[in-house]
Each structure stands twice: as structure tokens, then as C-alpha cells.
Amino acid sequence: MSMTLRIKRVPTVVSNYQKDEAEEGARRVGGCGRNCLNQCCIPGAKLPLYAFKKLNVNDGDTGLLGHEKREPPVPFLDSLLLGEWEDRMQRGLFRYDVTACETKVIPGQFGFIAQLNEGRHLKKRPTEFRVDKVLQPFDCSKFNFTKVGQEEVLFQFEASEDGEVQFFPSAPIDVESSPSVVAINVSPIEYGHVLLIPRILERLPQRIDRESFLLALHMAAEAGNPYFRLGYNSLGAFATINHLHFQAYYLAVTFPIEKAPTKKIATLNAEVKVAELLNYPVRGLVFEGGNTLQDLSNTVSDACICLQENNIPYNVLISDSGKRIFLMPQCYAEKQALGEVRAEILDTQVNPAVWEISGHMVLKRKKDYDEASDENAWKLLAEVSLSEERFQEVNALIFEGIASGDNGNENLLEDPEVKPRSHEEVNTINKRVHCSAVNEQICRLFTM
């Protein structure tokens, strides 16, 4: 007998136009009344447009066909993204001043980063979220990013049509092509916290596809700064808005996950190297290399698509200007819904999404900030991780998914430690992975 797994949490307010569902309905009856990105306001609207050059090699120093990369007409990170973000801060569009939040590196082996952010969860009541379904249909009746005000959008972000970087301070919004945009998060975790929303007018649900993931890597490459990272949370892994988006911000410190040792397990046909995290509380895979940026992007997006289609929640960190990507399947929300997370950890109200998993702990209580330690951070993150057995089973699914995404060609070349599975073996693993939550007593992966 199946059951639906749900948890209650305070949703993150990412836009000043994000309201409770009752208020949303009332406003729809009365009309828009604001400069949004829906059909009521978008005709004739203009926004800045940054058109990036597609890279044919996975190297931030060279561009198309190996030619030297020219200086962009406007520095992407410093002048455009962070400059426009600071402009919105001066205009009072954020719910609080994140630059005033206390932050420290926790003494110890791992260098976890703790931030005290008491304003991020205030003035909102807990909302129930379903956590056992990674793929859910888009629901126009709920908040989505077409409802944000145009003043919250920093610029459009698109591939250049002529192969050169271009910047237009005021460009029409092409409704037919559905532009990708960068908008502020009004409840920022750090300086420069923004949202990348691919093809915003298509109203895509929160699920990775090849085109959108490549766009995120291009944004990381365009920023060209290892301290500017992008992150992704699937549904069931603490994404609360079912409208496709990535998050990004600037923090000038190395994340603990970036310093963790790794063990290489495979090299793929396009020279994408895959490693496994070692001595870190959350088990995960690390992808890097590739002959082109698209090779790396396709490999990771195929892995994400595999997890989605097998209903496995996950988080992604895009690091090192898009050259290194961390993929972490997780089970915290599932365990929380099943009552398996200890009360003292639940009391912290920390929702371990991509930033927390990467080692940037956003704490809501002064007590937890004052008592922050390597041990406490490890205890929390250990609850997120799959067991070793389940992780290896999920890895087998991932490698099968990557091989399928590569048109079924043999994908593993150098000393792979994850052996390709037969179709029958994959089906068996898939069934075992998914019966853990719903039919725990019959088939529990953690205690096989």
C-alpha cells in the first residue's frame, strides 16, 4: 500500500510578489496591477540583454574555435551582475541586508562556513510540500517567476547570434523565443544571490534538461570567477518553487566540498572524468574535463535526467567557473517525512539544500550559530546522505543513464570501477531503490 510523503517547512520568499495562495487568488480577480512578465505587462517591455559567446572548448581562456577570448563590452560579473544586484539593494528590493549577516569559518578540519540569517524565514507560515515526487507538472495557479516584477529582473541571458559577446542596455523581450533571465532572490543567502531562469515564458517545471543545464554552465564560464557558483535543487531536495531555476551567488572562500578528496572511478568517451567524494558527510559524484563544455554539460545533465526519471531527489553544485560539477543524490526530506531525523537536528530548522550540502551552513538561530562546530555540521549533513549501499546502486543507474544519453554507445573507457549493468540488473536496482520509502517493511535499502 503506497502513501504520500510530505513535510512542512517555511517556504523561501524569492520575490516581493510571492504571496500565500489565498492572496494570489484574490489578486488575480482584481487584475495584475504591477509590471510583471505575463502577457498583461510584457508587450513593449525592454530589459538589458547579455549575449554570450558559445565555447567550443572547455577552457575559460579561449573561445570559439580556439581563438583568444575578447574582452566583453561590459564585465559580466563585476559590472553587470553584481553592479545591477547592488542597484536593487540600494533601491530597497531585498527583504533584509544580507551583507550585515554574521558569517564565520568554523574552526576544524573541514572549514565549514556558518552564516546567521535570522530574517530569511520570518513572516511566513509553514507550508506543506510533497517530497516523494521529483517530477511534478507545472501549476500556473501557484507562484512562478512570470509573476515577478520587471524591476527584480537584472538582464536577459542568451547565446550570441553572431558568435561574439554583445550587450544591449535595453532590448525588447522576444516572447516567441522565451528569453532566459537573471533575477534577484529577495531573500539572499549571500552577496550577489540571483536566480537563472531558463526560457522563462515556457513555464518549465523544476527538472533538468540538456539545454538548460548548458545555459547554467555558460553563466558560470562567463562569470569566470571560482567564487561565483551556481546551484540546483530538485523537488524533494528542497526546491520549493516548481518553475525551472538555478541559484547563484558570490562568496570568496573555498567550500568544504571543493576541498574534499576524491577517487576517480571512470573516464568517459568525451574525456569527462568522474570521481567519488571521499571523507565527506554527503556521498556524491564529481564531474570535470570533457573535450568541450557541452560534453561535460551533456554528461551531467544526462545523470540528472536519470535521477529525475527514477524519482531520486538530488542537488547540483557548479563550481570552478563551470569546470567542476558536484552531483549529490539525497534523502533528508524522505527521512524527515518518515520521522527518522532526530529532533535536535529538526529543531535547527536548517533545510539542507545545495549550499548547505556544499558546506555553507545557513543558520536561523543565534544558539546554533554560537555552537557551530565541525561535529554539528557533520551530524546534520550525514542525515542527508544515502547509505553506501544505496549510493552505489544509484551510481549504477546514473552510469546506465549516461550511456543511454550517449545514444547507447559504450561510454566507459579508462579503468571504470562502476561496471555497466544489464537491462535486467538496472530494472532490479530501480525497483529496489524506489520501494524503500513506500514499502519500507518489505524492501528497505538501508538494512538489506
Annotated catalytic sites, by residue? 245
Reduced to 3 states (helix: H, G, I; strand: E, B; else coil), residue 202 is helix
Beta strands of 24-165 (E only): which ranges? 46-52, 103-105, 113-116, 127-130, 153-159
Helix, strand and coil in the chain, % to nearest 5: 30, 20, 45
Separation in Å, CA 272 to CA 65, 290, 300, 304: 20, 4, 10, 15
C-alpha cell at 77: 560579473
Q: Taking phi first (over 0 means left), then psi (-120 to 50 degrees means alpha), and beta for anything else, what does residue 57 get?
A: beta
Coil, strand, or helix at residue 274? strand
Closest C-alpha among 298, 322, 190, 197 to residue 253: 190
**Backbone CA torsion sign across 27, 30, 36, 39:** positive
3-state SS class at 416: coil
Q: Give the Cα separation of 11 and 126 in Å (integer).
A: 7
Which residues on adjacent β-strands are paired with residue 228?
250
Strands 153-159, 46-52: pairing is parallel
